[in-house]
Amino acid sequence: MFEYYLLALSLLVLLLHLSHPKFAWLAALAAILSGLVVNQRIELSSWWLPVVVALVLVLALPPIRRHVVSRFLLKPFGAILPRMGETERIALEAGTVWWDGELFSGKPNWRQLFDFEPKPISEREQAFIDGPLEDLCRAIDDWQVIQQRDLPEDIWERIQKAGLFGMIVPQQYGGLEFSAQAQSKIVTRLSSRSITAAVTVMVPNSLGPAELLLHYGTEKQKDYYLPRLASGEEIPCFALTGPEAGSDAAATQSMGVVCRGMWQGEEVLGMRLNWRKRYITLAPVATLVGLAFRLTDPDHLLGDETDLGITCALIPRDVEGIEIGQRHDPMGIPFHNGPTVGRDVFVPLDTIIGGPDRAGDGWRMLMQSLAAGRSISLPALSVGAAQQATRVVGAYGTIREQFDTPIGRFEGIEEPLARIGGLTYTMNAARWLTCGALDDGHKPSVVSAIVKAYLTQGMREVLTDAMDIRAGAGIQRGPRNILSRAYCAVPIGITVEGANILTRSMIIYGQGAMRCHPYVHRLISSTADRDVKAFDHALFGYLGFVVVNAVRSLLLGLGAWVFEDPVIDGRGRSYVKKLSRLSANFALASDLASLTYGGALKRRERVSGRLADCLAWMYLASASLRRFQADGQPDAHLPLMLHAVQNATYQVSEALHELVRNLPGSIRWLARLLIFPLGRAMSAPDDRTIAKVARSLLEDRQARVDLTQEIYLPDADEPGLGAMEAALDAAVQAIPVETKLRDAVRSGRLDRGPGQYLAVNGLAAGIIDQAEYELLETAEACRNEVIQVDAFDANVYKDLR
């Protein structure tokens, strides 16, 4: 039987070789030895063993394999695999691969994640947050902003004076040059005070003129524009979206033609531009218009090419032919947003960002900039809204009573409370980890898409639950209802910088599969280039990758996940092991879907959307675990971390289940066997965890403070959160007195009755003293104040916006 064992060994080593080419010599040696043994010990009629040995030998040696196998497979694979146009290729190759690549591998290197230390913000950045930013927040009356349909003039001046338009501009140009972490914290705090102010500050520091100038501008352009942008002397906008080109921005019909024309009294070589753009934030007040358009050169004044491609330029607002100033009304949130039209606008070629040499390079510039910029602004705004909602409902659930019981004690309220707490923890962890990656020099394009889409969706879910808990008080607009403005703003975050439907179904998994998978991009590129050697390496590497992950997925599904190295000690280690299993499940499911649908996969958006859910929730779970470890595994945070990670792993498991359930017949059976050999993998947070999270928001002041530490806290005399915090403090101080009265009722020393009745009779009976009675009166007065809603005179109401 020796020859059979040797043959099995050769096959096993071959499988190893498919994913690790260094085993090629070992597979070949095993095949030769088994062949020799076969010739000596098996009769010639037993022809099949030598054939198998020869097959192993051919497949194990790349030079032979390329000649005998791969060159014949190259053409058929080229017909099956998706083809990429230039704009699609540029978009998919933008940015860098980071932790998302590990999650795609099927065997994440957890040491890489837990050894990564996001840099804390500097003392200079913290001083800015504690000083100028805090003063700005204090000066903003967001209800006034809503009613006036704009930020007051003094707020605009404060923003400009503080340098908030130049957070990304280097100090040498007069900017603040803040880290991604600091920018994120600033937007988080400002958005908790005013969505309008936050968006106004976000845009100049996100995808726009300053970002593009920093990376691609000429020195002359930087020296002129960056100081003016940093000081707020120039208000920028960036015009990308048009009626014909929304999510498909590369399909723009905004056109430029290279020609000669008059500029400041001289004939120069330039461009004549025509455009129609909409949804452009800051356009109504912009002094400098960044513009994306397709540039053509029909007279070949620049070279042989006619269609130069997408180009980006900076154009002063006052150039003849520009129509700008009208406003859209995005869900009643009055940040400046509107259309701009250009008719036969002539500008010189040096208005192109980067100069004439950058003509046609605009799409690459935009995709590279979006890979980083999308990671900061909208995720931070979403965290600000979620933290504010957490702070509000945590207080309201304690203050508001029904049936003589704080409403937060009811199980029906505990469930949304726990979702709010768990999601807010998840969102803030992802914000922190992603900004840490940016500050470390990464430009994780797939991760940026994840945090944009899933944190804005998280904001939607948190605010929906918060509004449900606030009930009637949540739907009455006015100064007291601070959640209503954020609630109205939710669709804005969901839509801009890549609508979430598109981001989920096409970008996260589509770009993730191309960039993060170790072989897919190489396979497609080698078929397009007709490179047999590269194709051979990619194809057999891919097959080995699939086999290894199939075996690993099955074994981990049968219970071997408990033997995985968790890397970390203490709490959370079991979830590291579970995520290792889910990573293997996901890698296998991804490849099975690719092999099943081939190039048609990119049109199977329900499939790619489920795979995006898997990748995104694994990243969010990873971020939650890393943040918990970085904070020192505090007891106060444990329920929050557990809810966050249990929910995330459950979402991955459910997405995998739906994916497998919808695969075609035999593939579905195989996938179910390899991914779910013992049934579904993960469970949602249980009732105990839900109760602990809800209680931590209601009773654990430290957990509540830690979870919401980035937001602005108003003074106690301000309607809304300020008054609610004061009422909570009063209610907490009164708890021992209320407990004393309840004990007296239970013992029969005091008759049961409403709260005020108990207080009066308790004082009369000597159960509480005058000071304790006054504590109860203060708490009751504060409670009555914060449960009130706004009401308006009929004439005032008619003028409300």
Active-site positions?
A: 497
Written as six digits, the tokens of 701 are 């002041």
User: Residue 60: what are its φ and ψ, rounded to 5°?
Assistant: -80, -20
What is the pairing mode between strands 337-348 and 322-324?
antiparallel
Helix (H), strand (E) counts: the chain: 35, 9
Measured CA to CA, the distance from residue 789 to residue 798 in angstroms comes to 18
**What Å distances lie between residue 263 and 288, 316, 491, 517, CA to CA?**
17, 13, 42, 50
Residue with tokens 């050999």: 677
- Both structure tokens of 68: 């005998």
387-420 burial, b at 16+ Cβ within 10 Å, e below that, comes to: bbbbbbbbbbbbbbeeeeebbbbeeebbbbbbbb
Closest of 93, 92, 77 to residue 598, by C-alpha: 77
DSSP per residue over 577-628, as a string? Answer: HHHHHHHHHHHHHHHHHHHHHGGGGGG-HHHHHHHHHHHHHHHHHHHHHHHH
Distance separating alpha carbons of residues 659 and 727, to the nearest angstrom: 49
Residues contacting 220, CB < 8 A, separation 6+: 350
CA distances from 529 to 63, 94, 448 (A): 19, 20, 30
Helices (H), 481-597: 483-495, 500-502, 509-516, 520-529, 532-557, 573-597
**Surface-to-core class of residue 516, CB atoms within 10 Å of its CB (0-12 exposed, 13-18 middle, 19+ buried):** buried
299: Cα separation from own chain's centroid: 45
Closest CA to 159 of 195, 185, 135, 124: 135
∠ Cα 105 25 75 (to 5°):
60
Structure tokens at 408: 């937060």
Cβ pair 121, 436 in contact under 8 A: no
Beta strands in 231-282 (DSSP E): 236-239, 255-263, 266-281
Question: What is the distance between the alpha carbons of residues 327 and 57, in angstroms, rounded to a whole number?
Answer: 71
Furthest-apart CA atoms within the chain: distance in Å:
110
Contact predicate 621/579, CB 8 Å: yes
